[in-house]
């Protein structure tokens, strides 16, 4: 009787051990979301048409921020929606001043989410949405500053109403981002390239970036922003140096 | 009878001799060796079609996504070649960057990612071992059961 019990109990015990070895643990970490206007915003730059631009404030409102673990990795060139086996959402809308801090300021922490599944968050989506309140109320992007060229100084306050959706793949930069280890913290970055709007005086006029940028000259006159600025053509939102699929309206 | 022994000895002797004598050299022999390594070549261009000449390249192996397995630069035509370690199957990621713009390409190498976790059919080797132990245990138990019945 005792032997019979052992014969029954042992395979059951082994079965339990096998099942216990199956994946499905609760390994988790923290994911932080940053916004970065890069040195263009913090230090200023010269536009493709020779205007030296300095920013006092660059208010951008970000909403519907979500990170994904995608396999196969999401390709922003496809233009399709992102679907991942794990999705981490940062709820709410956030108005950020990308010009905040000094010339060497770090990227700005937008928010963080704790207890997220470990793994590589290799896709990111976010919206540039109209702010409901605050210094940029009614606008998705407000750029305030000074531009100088040939002794002429222009104080600008450029307000953009268009809202844009950005769907991006993996962050591209000096280091890989978004790899969450157990009990660890990883970060992702929404990066905004303002030389895509104003162009760069460091590049030839026939460079592809300058061909797509409108420069500062239109803003020096009396032109309305909506007449000269089509945000879907500007490709402002990036992940580091990586491009995103963009749709604006 | 002695003739039989002599014939046998002669045959064995010839065999031994044939093994000991050097094989004649073949003047037109060829020596072809092969390697199963695969070389991967990427070509990086801007959307305009302009090659990303001199772009920085970082190759990441599937077993360490944080640290570059290899770094290098594209040639004037935006080409970069490397030979991945096929003992590390899975998706190899190649990052290309130049002048503030870049992208990534993801290249599957070897078996699919389930194999890279060290097991078969989605089970780890530990799980497979335990399952085999269960089967063996069951077989021994069955054998004992029938043996006992026969003795009774």
Per CB-CB distance under 8 Å, the chain A contacts of B48 are 208
pLDDT higher than 80, residue B12? no
Counted across chains A and B, CB pairs separated by less than 8 A come out at 61
> What's residue A12's pLDDT?
56
CA distance B148 to A85: 54
- How many helices (DSSP H) and strands (DSSP E) are in chain A? 7, 14
Q: What is the mean pLDDT of residues B91-107?
A: 92
Residues A236/A163, Cβ–Cβ less than 8 Å: no
CA distance A28 to A117: 5
Would an 8 Å CB–CB cutoff place A24 in contact with chain B?
A: no
Q: What is the mean pLDDT of residues A3-20?
A: 54
| Phi, then psi, of A25 in degrees rounded to 5 | -70, 180
ipTM above 0.95, yes or no: no
pLDDT higher than 80, residue B121? no
What DSSP string runs through B83-124?
Answer: ---TTS-EEEEEEEEETTEEEEEEEEESS-HHHHTTEETTEE
For the stretch A111-128, pLDDT in tens is 999 999 999 999 999 999
Chain B: closest CA distance from residue A14 (Å): 7
User: What is the end-to-end Cα distance of chain B in Å, rounded?
Assistant: 60
| Domain layout of chain B by residue ranges | 35-116, 118-147
| Domain layout of chain A by residue ranges | 27-248
pLDDT band at B146 (very low <50, low <70, confident <90, very high): low
pTM exceeds 0.80, yes or no: no
Looking at the DSSP assignment, which residues form a beta bridge with residue B95? B58, B104
pLDDT higher than 60, residue A49? yes
Q: What is the mean pLDDT of residues A224-231?
A: 72
pLDDT higher than 80, residue A46? yes
DSSP state, A137? B
pLDDT band at A14 (very low <50, low <70, confident <90, very high): low
**Peptide bond between residue A72 and the one before it cis (omega within 30 degrees of 0):** yes
Interface contact flag, B130 A120, Cβ < 8 Å? no
Chain A, window 182-211: residues with a beta carbon less than 8 angstroms from a chain B beta carbon: 193, 208
| Strand pairing category for A237-239 and A242-248 | antiparallel
> Between the CA of residue A158 and those of A40, A147, A226, A228, B61, what are the distances in Å?
16, 12, 10, 11, 45
CATH number of this structure's domain B35-116: 2.60.40.1120
pLDDT higher than 50, residue B124? no
Chain B: closest CA distance from residue A172 (Å): 6
What DSSP string runs through B43-81?
Answer: E-B-TTS-B-TT-EEEEE-TT-TTS-SEEEE--TTSEEE
């Amino acid at each position: 009787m005792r032997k019979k019990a052992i014969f029954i109990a042992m395979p059951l015990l082994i079965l339990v051990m096998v099942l216990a070895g199956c994946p499905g643990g609760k390994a988790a970490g923290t994911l932080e979301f940053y916004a970065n206007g890069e040195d263009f915003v913090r230090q200023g730059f010269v536009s493709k048409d020779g205007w030296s631009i300095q920013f006092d404030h660059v208010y951008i409102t970000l909403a519907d921020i979500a990170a994904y673990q995608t396999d196969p990795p999401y390709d922003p060139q496809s233009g399709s929606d992102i679907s991942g086996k794990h999705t981490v959402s940062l709820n709410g809308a956030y108005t950020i001043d990308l010009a905040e801090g000094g010339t060497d300021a770090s990227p700005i922490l937008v928010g963080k989410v704790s207890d997220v599944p470990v793994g590589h968050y290799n896709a990111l989506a976010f919206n540039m949405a109209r702010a409901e309140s605050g210094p940029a109320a009614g606008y998705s992007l407000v750029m305030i500053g000074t531009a100088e060229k040939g002794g002429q100084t222009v104080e600008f306050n450029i307000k953009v109403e268009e809202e844009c959706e950005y769907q991006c793949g993996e962050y591209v930069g000096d280091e890989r981002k978004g790899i969450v280890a157990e009990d660890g913290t990883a970060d992702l970055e929404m990066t905004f390239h303002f030389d895509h709007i104003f162009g760069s005086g460091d590049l030839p006029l026939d460079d592809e970036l300058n061909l797509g940028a409108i420069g500062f000259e239109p803003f020096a006159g009396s032109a309305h922003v909506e007449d000269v600025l089509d945000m879907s053509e500007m490709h402002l939102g990036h992940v580091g140096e990586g491009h995103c699929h963009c749709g604006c309206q | 009878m002695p003739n039989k022994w002599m014939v046998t000895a002669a045959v064995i002797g010839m065999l031994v001799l044939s093994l000991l004598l050097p094989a004649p050299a073949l003047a037109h022999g060829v020596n072809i060796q092969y390697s199963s390594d695969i070389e991967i070549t990427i070509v990086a261009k801007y959307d305009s079609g302009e090659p990303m000449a001199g772009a920085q390249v970082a190759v990441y192996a599937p077993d360490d996504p944080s640290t570059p397995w290899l770094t290098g630069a594209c040639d004037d035509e935006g080409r970069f070649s490397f030979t991945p370690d096929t003992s590390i199957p899975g998706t190899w990621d190649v990052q290309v960057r130049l002048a503030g713009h870049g992208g990534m390409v993801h290249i599957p190498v070897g078996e699919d990612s389930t194999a890279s976790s060290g097991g078969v059919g989605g089970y780890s080797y530990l799980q497979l071992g335990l399952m085999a132990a269960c089967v063996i245990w069951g077989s021994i138990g069955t054998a004992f059961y029938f043996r006992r019945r026969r003795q009774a």
